[in-house]
Chains A and B, each alone.
Chain A
Amino acid sequence: MAQSNPPFMSGVPELLLLRLLDQSEMYGYELVRSIRAATGEAISLGEGVIYPVLHSLERNGSLKSKRKAVSGRTRVYYSLTGKGRQRLGKLQDDWRRIQGGIANALEVPSHA
């Protein structure tokens, strides 16, 4: 089983969750599997911590949820709202800016 990254990286799960839910609606377990697959297992997390993030995103209107009965179980499926799409766009821009900044910093020769 994969190793987890306990201090769930600030802002990253939100970005990943919004990105994945932009493609299709999913429930928690499915989302964790998708994060693993989408990041080539580079990001794995204590899977339980995904739910507070999902609930918080739902509370601020970025996600909506609905219950579906699947093989005798009731699953909570999450999907993106219009507000969530806007939030995703902003987070992606921020992330690309940071990524560019870090890439530039790494290219600068070290003086150490």
Chain B
Amino acid sequence: MRELDLSRLQSELLRSGVAPRHVRRTVDELSDHYEDLVEQGLSEGLDSRSARCGAVTMLGEVEVIAQAVRAQPELRSWAFRFPRVAAVVYPLTFVMLLPAAPVFIGAAHANHLAKWVVCLFLSGVVTAAMFLMLQLAITLT
């Protein structure tokens, strides 16, 4: 039985450089359209299997839809439309953001970071207490 392979369409479009938001939207709208077509088939008296097959036929082949999307250059991500600009902007942005990397990494791993901070604090307290006791012992002797 023919099935609507939206995940294949999604990966093909992303691979072709279509902007992810256009890919998401195309897939969402196609999925909705498919459901409408299935409902239409069922209301015309088809069984579920035939209604789904018919809906896939009506929507068209994934390759044809992908080709129609690719035929609209304005739907591509800007990096694909202006590769030379992207080749300059991406490395520059990366270099500029590099010093802030620890902040981003810390934010992304806040839980681990919090544990490390607590451990460091506790070890500091223990070390300070040991020094204090050592100092006390020296003073008493």
Name A's B-contacting residues (CB within 8 A).
Answer: 1-2, 4, 6, 8, 27-29, 32, 45-49, 51-53, 55-56, 59-60, 73-76
B58 touches A4 (CB 8 A): yes
A29 touches B64 (CB 8 A): no
Q: Nearest Cβ in chain B — how far from A21, in angstroms? A: 15
A-B contact pairs, 22 of them (CB 8 A): A1-B54, A4-B60, A6-B64, A27-B32, A28-B32, A46-B58, A47-B58, A48-B33, A48-B59, A48-B68, A49-B60, A49-B68, A51-B29, A52-B26, A52-B65, A52-B68, A52-B69, A52-B72, A53-B72, A55-B72, A55-B75, A59-B75
Q: Nearest Cβ in chain B — how far from A37, in angstroms? A: 14
Q: Nearest Cβ in chain A — how far from B37, in angstroms? A: 7
A46 touches B60 (CB 8 A): yes
Q: Nearest Cβ in chain B — how far from A75, in angstroms? A: 7
Known interface pairs A1-B54, A52-B26, A53-B68; A46-B36 also in contact (CB < 8 Å): no
A48-B30, A76-B25 known; 18 other A-B pairs, CB under 8 Å? A1-B58, A4-B57, A4-B58, A4-B60, A6-B64, A29-B32, A29-B36, A46-B60, A46-B64, A47-B37, A47-B58, A49-B60, A49-B68, A51-B65, A55-B75, A59-B75, A75-B32, A76-B28
Q: Nearest Cβ in chain A — how far from B10, in angstroms? A: 13
B74 touches A59 (CB 8 A): yes
Which residues of the partner chain B approach A56 to less than 8 Å between Cβ atoms? 72, 74-75
A46 touches B59 (CB 8 A): yes
Which residues of the partner chain B approach A74 to less than 8 Å between Cβ atoms? 32
Which residues of the partner chain A approach B26 to less than 8 Å between Cβ atoms? 51-52, 55
How far apart are the CA atoms of A28 and B71 in the complex, in Å? 19
Which residue of chain A is the closest to B34 with respect to CB atoms?
A: A48
Known interface pairs A29-B36, A52-B71, A55-B75; A47-B29 also in contact (CB < 8 Å): no
Known interface pairs A55-B26, A55-B75, A56-B75; A73-B32 also in contact (CB < 8 Å): yes
Taking the complex as formed, is B3 at the interface, i.e. its CB lies under 8 A from any CB of chain A? no
Which residues of the partner chain B approach A73 to less than 8 Å between Cβ atoms? 32, 35
A48 touches B57 (CB 8 A): no
